[in-house]
């Protein structure tokens, strides 16, 4: 008797992860293979797509072994992964150059070119987003302008997880949520934009067919089966980009349930039942991995990454628990000390790659616990920026905020977030994020549940709640305008420093 397992594949920037889930939604096992990252020049960030494939082959085999399972036990497969990365292939499916990743910052000039060709306001209305360096479209223009001999051989454009899909199935296919993140998508029509492609002179035939998150895109090939241990003919569903699949993984799939991710980057994720577009593009508007749904998203680039930097730089070797413990005794506001969390530039609400981090208000009274507290509060203020934009988008009542990510393991940080945002935060029983969401999408595609919300309601439960403290809320409400004034005051300096 087969085990009826569902495989979620996650190609992140740091690892190729395979997760096996059973038909009740219980995680059976996970396996992750670390992935190398290349930064050959300043502002550049690249990976070799072959590393994604080799890594996931290893992880799939390891997960099957750990679960005492075979390919016959896997009923369906879903994929997720880092968004926006450009994987350029020739007509035979061969990789032409290293993939240019989501955190690559080389394409400022190409973003200006996109705005000039399409018109900024028109571009935002079509794609739901401004042209920013992280997205895929400007990377395509960069290759065309800087590596014309490589561009001339191009025939297929895939996102990172969809290169792995191609290796698994032989099909050039993508899901609609991840594809929206290329900013070549008409987010309202849920398909590639003929107008944008024409004005940017990008061939339509280079882009894959797109599918909804639970929709079957192909099946495992005999060649991939031999390498991975999976069974040839096993269906593969669309899946979603890491943020959309991660939202599925915590149940942020219905209007009123907001996801707040406190990972290396920070994300505020709000599902919508229509394509709401913020007129200035300050919030990202993408298709959801849920069929017929969309989402708004605010992104800060250095959330838990700010705490990681703080620890590694000022307290190397100290555990995070030991670092945070004394910060709990520091009063809200860190005695006048602020931290701007723009260590790698910023996306929301300031789409500015030149934004810089800083401690503001240092005095002789301030010691390491004050700096730690200020980092926690600065990240919380940054996430409030996105939350305020979501609240102002007119989506209706926010019924629940579900917090996840490595930083959310800290009770102190959860309390500071609740106090800064002024809302209760809850955690849920699922902690595997996008890989779990991809497995749920596979199970929906296989008919275990009829809809994605039904699957989430059946498997995801609230396990804890952190309520805001009225006295602390008042302190942070008084401090927030001061925090908001820091970026405008310092922007001329950021621009001058470059």
**Alpha-carbon gap, residue 341 to 498, rounded angstroms:** 17
Phi/psi of residue 86, nearest 5 degrees: -90, 115
- Catalytic residue selected from 104, 242, 385, 419: 242
Cβ atoms 114, 144 nearer than 8 A: no
Helix (H) or strand (E) holding 221: none
CB distance 192 to 219 below 8 Å:
no
242 is annotated as an active-site residue: yes
3-state secondary structure of 10: strand
Q: Are strands 173-175 and 209-211 parallel, antiparallel or unpaired?
A: parallel
HSE-CB for 292 with a 13 A CA cutoff:
3
Please say whether the beta carbons of 300 and 386 come within 8 A: yes
- Taking the C-alpha atoms of residue 213 and residue 190, their distance in angstroms, rounded to an integer, is 12
Q: Which of 204, 268, 210 is nearest to 423 (CA)?
A: 268
Cβ proximity of 237 and 219 under 8 Å: no
Find the largest Cα–Cα distance for the chain: 69
Q: List active site positions.
A: 242
């Amino acid at each position: 008797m087969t085990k009826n397992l569902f495989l979620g594949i996650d190609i992140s920037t740091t690892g190729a992860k395979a997760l096996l889930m059973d038909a009740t939604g219980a995680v059976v096992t996970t396996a992750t293979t670390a992935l190398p990252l290349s930064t050959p020049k300043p502002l550049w960030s690249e990976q070799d797509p072959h590393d994604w494939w080799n890594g996931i082959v290893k992880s799939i085999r390891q997960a099957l072994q750990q679960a005492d399972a075979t390919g016959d036990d896997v009923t369906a497969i879903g994929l997720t992964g880092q968004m926006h990365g450009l994987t350029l292939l020739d007509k035979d499916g061969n990789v032409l150059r290293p993939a240019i990743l989501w955190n690559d910052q080389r394409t400022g000039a190409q973003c200006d070119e996109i705005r000039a060709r399409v018109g900024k306001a028109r571009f935002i209305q079509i794609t739901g987003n401004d042209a920013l360096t992280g997205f895929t479209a400007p990377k395509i223009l960069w290759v065309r302008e800087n590596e014309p001999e490589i561009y001339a051989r191009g025939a297929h454009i895939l996102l990172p997880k969809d290169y792995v899909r191609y290796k698994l199935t032989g099909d050039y296919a993508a899901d609609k949520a991840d594809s929206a993140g290329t900013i070549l998508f008409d987010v309202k029509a849920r398909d590639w934009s003929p107008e944008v492609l024409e004005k940017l002179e990008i061939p339509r035939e280079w882009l894959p067919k797109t599918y909804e998150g639970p929709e079957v895109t192909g099946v495992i090939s005999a060649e991939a089966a031999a390498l991975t241990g999976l069974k040839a003919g096993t269906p593969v569903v669309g899946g979603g980009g890491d943020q959309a699949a991660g939202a599925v993984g915590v149940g942020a799939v219905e209007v009123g349930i907001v996801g707040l991710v406190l990972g290396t980057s920070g994300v505020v994720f709000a599902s919508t039942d229509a394509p709401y577009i913020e007129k200035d593009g300050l919030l990202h508007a993408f298709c959801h991995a849920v069929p017929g749904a969309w989402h708004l998203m605010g992104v800060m680039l250095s959330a838990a990454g700010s705490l990681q930097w703080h620890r590694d730089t000022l307290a190397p070797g100290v555990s995070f628990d030991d670092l945070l413990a004394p910060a709990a005794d520091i009063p809200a506001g860190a005695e006048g000390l602020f931290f701007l969390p723009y260590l790698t530039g910023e996306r929301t609400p300031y789409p500015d790659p030149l934004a810089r981090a800083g401690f503001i208000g240092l005095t002789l009274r301030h010691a390491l616990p004050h700096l730690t507290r200020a980092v926690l509060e600065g990240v919380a203020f940054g996430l409030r920026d996105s939350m305020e934009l979501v609240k102002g988008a007119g989506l209706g009542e926010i019924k629940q905020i579900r917090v996840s990510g490595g930083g959310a393991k800290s009770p102190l940080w959860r309390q500071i977030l609740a106090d800064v945002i002024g809302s209760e935060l809850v955690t849920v029983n699922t902690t595997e994020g996008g890989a779990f969401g991809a497995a749920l999408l596979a199970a929906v595609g296989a008919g275990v549940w009829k809809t994605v919300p039904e699957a989430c309601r059946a498997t995801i439960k609230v396990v804890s709640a952190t309520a805001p403290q009225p006295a602390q809320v008042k302190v942070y409400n008084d401090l927030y305008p001061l925090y908001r004034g820091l970026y405008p005051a310092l922007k001329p300096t950021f621009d001058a420093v470059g």
